[in-house]
Amino acid sequence: MPLLEATAKTSNARIRRILTALLPQQQLVLELLRMSGEIAVTEQASDTILWRTLKECRDYRWVTITEVSPAVHSVALTLHGRRTIEALSGS
């Protein structure tokens, strides 16, 4: 089996495992970022469901979180995050 084909099969299997573990709030954040490209989030309440979800998504490397000014962060979808949400939605 050629290396590229084996890599594609491994990657597809890994995506399937991730998709079964994708929580509804993670899917919502990824879909929002897929449609908008980037969002700004305040650090006002960093213990909220939104921030917990953003941190989970960052841990999976689906998003990047960058501080743009004190207490304001930019959240953007990574290529890995885009592929994950597109695999889930079938687009």
Q: In what order do the strands lie in the sheet with 63-69?
A: 38-42, 72-77, 63-69
> Could you report the per-residue pLDDT of 38-51, keeping only the tens digit for each?
999 998 766 899 99
pLDDT at residue 90 above 90? no
Predicted structure pTM score: 0.74
Higher-scoring residue by pLDDT: 90, 19: 90
CATH of domain 3-89: 1.10.10.10
Predicted local distance difference test score (pLDDT) of residue 27: 94
| Cβ partners under 8 Å of residue 55, min gap 6 | 65
How many Å apart are CA 14 and CA 6, to the nearest integer?
12
> Could you report the per-residue pLDDT of 5-40, keeping only the tens digit for each?
555 555 666 655 555 578 999 999 999 999 998 999
CA angle 13, 76, 17 (to 5 degrees): 15
How many Å apart are CA 5 and CA 55, to the nearest integer?
33
